[in-house]
A = this chain, B = another copy of it.
Amino acid sequence: MRVITTIKEMQHTMLLAKKGGQSIGYVPTMGFLHEGHLSLMEKAREENDIVVISIFVNPLQFGPTEDLSSYPRDFERDKELALNQQVDYIFYPSVKEMYPHSSSVTVKVNERTDVLCGKSRPGHFDGVATVLTKLFQIVQPEKAYFGTKDAQQVAVVEGLVNDLHFPVEIIAVETVREEDGLAKSSRNVNLLPEEREQAPNLYQSLLRAKEMILNGERNPQKVVSFITEMITEKTDGKIDYIEIYSYPMLKELTELHGKFIIALAVKFSKARLIDNIILEIYEK
């Protein structure tokens, strides 16, 4: 496994591999790898000749009041985990390498961004789209792997790749969870012990909502109210949003029908957690 820190060397190495006919599978990450990431690498390992991950905490996708400085980092541990997954290359650039001067060119996402996480994080998905545009050019992947935990990100990235014609296939991989159901996240380590105990209620509330819907509930407002009550009652978290939209277009629904996402974000004292489930309901 090789660690590469410069754009020039990374891109050159990948262009050579591609010329040699090798397929490149790519997992972009912000590091502090957990089993969610490992499942993406595993899938990439199965499907490609070369597996590349990048570790880059992208300042452009953090807002001015967000947790850029407290975002957890542990490169030595990440390196070992990647080695165990038979990763071939880690691209590990500095902020200065990726943004040597203020960004003279940025990518703007004009759709699917003003709902869910995008609503409370203006500019977030522009930052994601800009860094991914850069990374896709540097790494030259045939396939790129994303977790459905951030379903809005998957939807936005699909839009980016389709609209700008990047020759890369986006593979969405299912959310990996702790035994108690909590979605794996680098931010989980920032939960206080009692918050960590409460946190599984996020996913539990989604499962209970699913049950309600399978039992016939078709009113999105009633489902949202139910989840709101359960999370308010069982956690100290502050609800950022609980929303239901069609998927992947992320349009509002007046009645639960077709493919849709129930997504939530809850702020604990030092960590904001997200989770979602995607359901499909077609009446006979």
A interface residues (Cβ-Cβ under 8 A, vs B): 7, 11, 15, 18-19, 21, 102-112, 129, 133-134, 137-138, 140, 159-160, 163-167
Q: Is the CB of A11 within 8 A of B104?
A: no
- Find the B residue at minimum CB distance from A8: B165
Q: Is the CB of A167 within 8 A of B110?
A: no
A140-B159 Cα distance, complex, nearest whole Å: 20
Contact of A105 among B19, B21, B108 (CB under 8 A): B108
A151-B112 Cα distance, complex, nearest whole Å: 36
Q: Is the CB of A15 within 8 A of B108?
A: no
Please provide the 8 A-B residue pairs with the shortest distance between their CB atoms, ordered closest to farther: A104-B111, A105-B163, A137-B165, A106-B108, A104-B159, A108-B108, A138-B165, A104-B110
Query: Chain copies in the assembly?
Result: 2
Q: Is the CB of B107 within 8 A of A137?
A: no
Q: Which residues of B contact A18 (CB under 8 A)?
A: 19
Q: Is the CB of A165 within 8 A of B7?
A: yes
Q: Which residues of B contact A21 (CB under 8 A)?
A: 19
Q: Which residues of B contact A160 (CB under 8 A)?
A: 105
Q: Is the CB of A165 within 8 A of B106?
A: no
- Find the B residue at minimum CB distance from A110: B104
- Find the B residue at minimum CB distance from A99: B163
A157 CB, min distance to chain B CBs, angstroms: 10
Q: Is the CB of B105 within 8 A of A159?
A: yes
Q: Is the CB of B167 within 8 A of A137?
A: yes
A258 CB, min distance to chain B CBs, angstroms: 19
Contact of A133 among B102, B104, B164 (CB under 8 A): B164
A112 CB, min distance to chain B CBs, angstroms: 7
Q: A105-B108, A106-B107 are in contact. List 7 more A-B contacts (CB 8 A).
A: A15-B167, A18-B19, A104-B110, A104-B159, A105-B129, A108-B108, A137-B167
Q: Is the CB of B7 within 8 A of A134?
A: no
Q: Which residues of B contact A15 (CB under 8 A)?
A: 167
A159 CB, min distance to chain B CBs, angstroms: 5
- Which of A108, A110, A164, A166 has the largest count of B CB atoms less than 10 A from its CB? A164
A105-B15 Cα distance, complex, nearest whole Å: 26
- Find the B residue at minimum CB distance from A168: B137
A103-B111 Cα distance, complex, nearest whole Å: 9
Q: Which residues of B contact A140 (CB under 8 A)?
A: 167
